[in-house]
Amino acid sequence: MRKLWLAIFGAILLLCLLSGMAFAQSDEPTVPFCGSLSESDCATLDASTMAMAGLTSGTSVNQLKLYATGAALGDQEASIVLTSERSFVISPQQLDRLNILRAMPPDQFAADPNAIAEAARIPFDIDVSQAVTLAISPELATRLADSTQVNVPNTITFHTRSVDGVIYIRLADFAVFTQQPDWTPEWVGIQTRVIVSNTISSSSANSTIDAAALQQALVPPGEALAGSIIYHVPADQVALYEDFMRLVALGAGEQNGELVHVYNLTWDLPRYFGGPLFAQRTGQTEFPSAQSRLYGSLATILLDGVTTNMTQAVGISNSYVYSVATNANWAIGLPGGQMVSDRPTVGFTDSMHNSNLNELQSISAPSGAVVPPINFVLAIVNLLQD
């Protein structure tokens, strides 16, 4: 069991390494890192986020998987998979208003109570349907049950929807944890409009609204489906990234019935830790140096067996992102010998597949949902207080 947790820890460490590299970017004026791409290909990739921000509807399936195999597991795979399927619909008018509020000068936004109230309500005016599933492989579920003496379900799914300002929660999903009375409805809805208005009024009166954070949270829902393998880096550091990163075009293909261009990004992790960019970030005064050679040598030894890559498919005709996938695996061991007996392999995949872009017309409320009249009750209470 210890080897299993070592393997899972290795997968998490690998994920953290890549995430740290991806987000450790400078606040200086930047340019897109294009690798070996043509100028037009790089421009297409760079424009994909803006194209996605203009979407009024779409569906995205996001999946994060941590896995381990080998060692005590043999040919079996222990894995944890988190999958989220989300659809959204926003009216063109709401999207335009979101962008107007987002573009307001921060001081002007903070001084306008109506803009603040409108910004706080916008997320509740976007219709959303979402299902989140946590799946544990049978091998891992069995081992967890043996060690905790608790029956661990292989799959748990939770469904939610937000339609016309009402948030719907599927109570039937919680039956996996406890037996529910026969009278329990499958879905229950929570009206939010009056609750949100009261919360905004109270926060405004108490001066507790963080206007800057509220404005920064105004992200077009399509932009959240974008993803990108284009890094924006300081112009004087492009050569430093070229030392350990490779970005290439893989050609044309088809996804969801759309013609797409496919691109691939790879990292050479040992070269990064022994390279000039890592030296600069860790305050090394010169490069190459004994310190950089030591880091590079240790990374070459400890990260032997690591492979990483990221692919992205972008529509040829519309620049929409149809998929993004990051894959990394690590055969834990040492060159010429094993770090642990029966060398395990750990890894993760992080993928997003988009579909129905600008095609969904509406999201319907769940049939038969019970919705207590909270808005009506709170409105009467507010009237009596006035």
pLDDT 10s digits, 260-301? 999 999 989 889 999 999 898 888 888 889 999 998 898 888
Q: What is the pLDDT of residues 176-197, one digit of tens each?
A: 888 888 888 999 999 888 777 7
On the question of pLDDT at 110 being above 80, the answer is yes
Q: What are phi and psi of 126, to 5 degrees?
A: -95, 120
- Residues 371 and 188: their CA atoms lie apart, in Å, by 6
Specify the pLDDT at position 372. Answer: 85
Give ∠ CA 122-114-220 in degrees, rounded to 5.
25
Q: Which residues contact 206 (CB under 8 A, 6 or more apart)?
A: none
What's this model's pTM, rounded to 2 decimal places? 0.81
Q: Where are the alpha helices (DSSP H) in the chain?
A: 2-23, 39-53, 92-103, 106-110, 113-125, 138-148, 193-205, 211-216, 238-242, 269-273, 276-281, 290-302, 374-385
Read off the pLDDT band of 158 (50, 70, 90). Answer: very high
The per-residue pLDDT for 209 is: 81
Higher pLDDT, 302 or 240: 240
Runs of H (alpha helix) within 211-338: 211-216, 238-242, 269-273, 276-281, 290-302
**Amino acid (1-letter code) at residue 183:** W
Predicted confidence (pLDDT) per residue in 369-379, tens digit: 998 887 655 55
Tell me, what's the pLDDT at 181? Answer: 87
Q: Which of 46, 31, 28 is nearest to 238 (CA)?
A: 31
Q: What is the dihedral of CA 376, 381, 382, 383, to 10 degrees?
A: 90
Residues 262, 287 contacting (CB under 8 angstroms): no
Confidence of residue 169 (pLDDT cuts 50, 70, 90): very high
The pLDDT assigned to 72 comes to 65
Quote the Cα angle for 265-283-13, to 5°.
45
